[in-house]
Amino acid sequence: MARSQQTFGKKENEKKKQQKRKEKEEKRQERQANSSKGKGLSDMIMYVDHEGNFTSTPPDPRMKREIEADSIAVSVTRQAPIDPADLIRQGIVSFFNDAKGYGFIRDLQSQESIFVHINGLSEKVIEGNKVSFETESGPKGLQAIKVKKVS
């Protein structure tokens, strides 16, 4: 009688498991050999030389240069103060729902639609009114505040 195929399959599976264990052990040993764990602090320290390059050797004290803190430039440019008159925009109320207390203003310059809540109104507005307003960042984008009618 012939041997069952299940026994052959079990042997093959066992061989595959043994091979995987062997590969895993080899990888573990390789990681341990290449590990930087256990090195001293002096092995991990990097220095910057007089050219500004990283090196593993300490810099030569004779090459030391004094630098004034004011000469260090940070990459952020200084901006001129913003004129409050530039923040005021002009627009037309394209939609406003008094019952719900919100609407939208179409900016005349950029033609973008800006959300306005009833709390941002200085005086009552209706659709079609020309208004002046300022903007601030709201939870879902720009929001109009200090909205006033313009005649």
Asked whether residue 27 is assigned to any structural domain, the reply reads no
Asked whether residue 11 is assigned to any structural domain, the reply reads no
Q: What range defines the domain where residue 110 resides?
A: 84-149
Q: pLDDT digit string (tens) for 23-53?
A: 999 999 988 887 766 667 777 788 888 778 8
Length of the chain: 151
Supply the Cα-derived Rg of the chain in whole angstroms.
Answer: 36
Give the rounded distance of the alpha carbon of 133 from its chain centre.
30
Biggest CA pair distance of the chain = 106
Strands (E), 4-140: 47-48, 54-55, 89-97, 102-107, 113-117, 130-138
Asked whether residue 2 is assigned to any structural domain, the reply reads no
- Does residue 74 contact residue 103 with C-beta atoms inside 8 Å? no
Domain at 141, CATH number: 2.40.50.140
The stretch 85-102 carries a mean pLDDT of 89
Structure-token match 């929001």, residue found: 143
Asked whether residue 145 is assigned to any structural domain, the reply reads yes
Asked whether residue 13 is assigned to any structural domain, the reply reads no
Q: pLDDT digit string (tens) for 94-115?
A: 999 999 999 999 999 889 999 9
Asked whether residue 136 is assigned to any structural domain, the reply reads yes
* Whole-number pLDDT of residue 3: 61
* Whole-number pLDDT of residue 119: 92
Q: How many CB atoms lie within 10 A of CB 130?
A: 14
Asked whether residue 44 is assigned to any structural domain, the reply reads no
At residue 1, does pLDDT exceed 60? Answer: no
pTM above 0.75, yes or no: no
Number of compact structural domains in the chain = 1
